[in-house]
Structure 1
Amino acid sequence: MDHAETVTFGGSGLDRVAELRGDAQAIDYARSQGLTRTIVLWRGKPLVRAGELDRLVRLPLEHPALADATLPPILLGREESGILVFATDISGWEPAGPEAESLGAFVDQSEQRHPDLEDAVFAELRRIMTRLTPRDAELAATAKALAGWQESHRFCARCGAESEMILSGWQRSCPACNAQHFPRTDPVVIMLITHGNRTLLGRSHGWPEGMYSCLAGFIEPGETLEAAVRREVWEEAGIRVGRVRYLASQPWAFPSSLMLGAQGEALNTEIVIDPSEIEEAIWVTREELLQAWTGDNPRLLPARKGAIAHFLLHNWLADKVD
């Protein structure tokens, strides 16, 4: 797709300055010249401007709110202004009264406000991702993925000893057995399966009523993208898939996936679901999907804006998949 990189979390052109990772002297110099800022995370939620929730807040690395940091700053990249941007995780901070009923919900509507940060709140990334600029969206997704990996991979998978963060957050090194560990990304296929004027949609157990999306699943070891598309669609819905082609990708830091969007041509139409995989699968016409997009389909909600499923379905509706 010619416009593949317009998907949310893609296409900002961030300079990730791999050559500066672990270069303490260069980072210290940038810091002394006022050329460093950090975005802030709390339990995976980025700090954004209150009210509109449309802009990441960038703080000096010396800001007092960062005293609750659970990790050293992680270097994300360098902006066109020359500023090095870091991510700081302050999940050790305990807010006075988080909205417990919203935390962990399908859509977390809660906002947390740090006493040292005026006019800023922590907000769930899936809730605000379409409000952010492409640059802020890429920074937030990268920060969330790296902070999550650092928190969940503290101990060496080879010997069990606690490892150390190195290379400005892009690697962990085990002092006991010298094993080196790198950030994890799990490849996932997500499929726009079509048959004439219809596309195949499914829903997982526990989703809100009326919510459907493209089928998706993890790529297995030793498997190609095309084979994964055919296997997942057959396992989940009993549909055989012929021609498969890659369309677009999206980093999806919930917690650590790379979504690989593909189109597949269905060879049959009779649906036989695996109830352990999905709750339901249905064929939807372009006309029915358009009604969902405009809010006029009583049984079908549009896919979540910002997710690659919405991107693929929107372009299929507009006949812009090629």
Structure 2
Amino acid sequence: MSFPHLDLAANAHDRAGERRVDDAWLDARWEDPETRVLVVAGTRIRPVDGAIPWLPPADAPYDGRRVLLGERDGRAWFALIVDPEDAPGERGEWVGLRAVLPRLAGVDAEGADLAEAPLVFHAVGMAEWHWATRFCPWCGGTLEPRLAGAELVCTQCGKAQFPRTDPAVIMAITCGEPGSRDEALLLGRQSAWPTGRYSTLAGFLEPGETLEDAVRREVWEEVGVRVGEVTYFGNQPWPLPASLMLGFLGRAESLEINVDGREIEDARWFTRAQMRERAESGDLVLPGGVSISRSLVEHWYGGPLPGSW
């Protein structure tokens, strides 16, 4: 079966790292009307009629920090990061990345390709990093962009800073004989979520830890279930604000659930029959189709399920 989260990695662009030091090439591309620019106000973008507004450079604001994203379809692509105070339009028109996720995969009603997620993820991820990295962590000095925005260098001590991505594990934990009627999948929910919303468990990797051990630790800490065998499933860029979601399948060695009450409010085992019945009735609401969590659930279930966040 196909996995919807992979749509967000489709049609990746050439990041053209060798061009980041070529000022003449960068200037020429900025003057090229075929070049496309995404304006990011702080960390937010401004959809136009629901679409991502890629502009020719001449239509972009004059002031801002240019970040080269790369090349695709015979043209150059940039992000232009501007101060939110200087952004055009009303502040409420600018939204976070999560608000446009459904737009970033597949095709629209007219059949137009919407597989622009890698470019948008790159642009917003870089904007998040520039927005959060204001001063040198070594000496507190000011930072200047280099390499077409891919590096920040301290004007005082000369230390260079580079974008960071935080690895996070997300896992489908099962119990029972694989493929049997009694096999069940573990799902949990946070107290802040609306009633009925459940998802696979997830958490961040800690220093000195393998990914497999992070799966085991997070499940134990959040719901008190011991996990044995862990196998890799797939991954998904998730710049909200700067993560890579690494999906895993795991087999439970214990069944009793003891939620931590802090991150997880409730967790339950769902058989396939229970999952189908509750999803069809609306009592169980699963993550959206573009998320790797949805892919993990439907991979285990064996096909698509109704309803989503």
Q: Structures share a fold, TM > 0.5?
A: yes
**Does the C-alpha gap of structure 1 residues 175 and 42 become closer, same or farther in structure 2, counting only changes over 3 Å?**
closer
Kept in 2, the 8 Å contact 1:172–1:182? The answer is yes
Q: Distance in 1 between matches of 2:142 and 2:47?
A: 33
Contact 2:33 / 2:58 at 8 angstroms: preserved in 1?
A: no
The aligned residue for residue 49 of structure 1 is 48
1:76 aligns with 2:76: no
In structure 2, the partner of 1:128 is 100
Identify which of 143, 149, 163 aligns with 1:169: 149
1:1-322 matched pairs, under 5 angstroms: 7-50=6-49, 53=50, 55-63=51-59, 66-67=61-62, 69=63, 71-80=64-73, 82-90=74-82, 91-93=84-86, 98=91, 112=93, 122-133=94-105, 135-196=115-176, 197-294=183-280, 296-298=281-283, 300-318=284-302
Is the contact made by 1:17 and 1:77 (CA closer than 8 Å) also made in structure 2? yes
1:7: Cα distance to partner? 2.1
Identity of aligned residues (%): 38
Secondary structure of the corresponding residue to residue 46 of structure 1: coil
Does the CA-based 8 Å contact 2:198-2:286 persist in structure 1?
yes
Q: Secondary structure at the match of 1:189?
A: strand
Q: 1:97 to 1:182 in 2, by over 3 A?
A: closer
Give the Å deviation of 1:93. Answer: 3.1
CA RMSD of aligned residues (A): 2.2
TM-score (norm: length of structure 2): 0.86
Cα drift, residue 13 of structure 1: 2.5
Q: Which has the higher helix share?
A: 2
- Paired with 1:198 and 1:293, the residues of 2 have a C-alpha distance of 15
8 Å contact 1:39–1:47 — kept in the other structure?
no
**Per-residue displacement from partner, 1:243-265 (whole Å, max 9, x unpaired)?**
10111111111110111000100
Mark the CA change 1:252 to 1:278 in structure 2 (over 3 Å): closer, same or farther.
same
Work out the CA distance in 2 between the residues paired with 1:274 and 1:3: 34
Q: Deviations over 1:50-103 (max 9, x none)?
A: 0xx2x322112222x514x5x4111112112x210001123233676555xxxx
Give the counterpart letter for 2:57 in structure 1. L
Q: CA deviation at 1:165?
A: 1.0
Q: 1:292 to 1:227 in 2, by over 3 A?
A: same
Q: CA deviation at 1:47?
A: 3.4
Relative to structure 1, the CA distance from residue 168 to residue 4 in structure 2 (aligned partners, 3 Å threshold; closer, same or farther) is farther
Distance in 2 of aligned mates of 1:275 and 1:6: 29
Where 1:255 maps in the other structure, the secondary structure is coil
Deviation at 1:8, TM superposition (A): 4.3
Q: Name the CA distance, whole Å, in 2 between partners of 1:4 and 1:18.
A: 30
The 2-side partners of 1:94 and 1:278 are apart by 38
Give TM-score scaled by structure 1 length: 0.83
Aligned residues: 289
In 2, the alpha carbon distance for the partners of 1:57 and 1:314 equals: 33
CA distance in 2, matches of 1:16, 1:265: 38
- What is the letter of the counterpart of residue 35 of structure 2? T
The amino acid of 2:299's aligned partner reads N
Question: What do residues 179-224 of structure 1 show as CA deviations (whole Å, max 9, x unaligned)?
Answer: 1111010000001111132111111231111111111111001100
Q: Distance in 1 between matches of 2:31 and 2:14?
A: 21
Instruction: In structure 1, give the amino acid aligned to 2:76.
Output: L
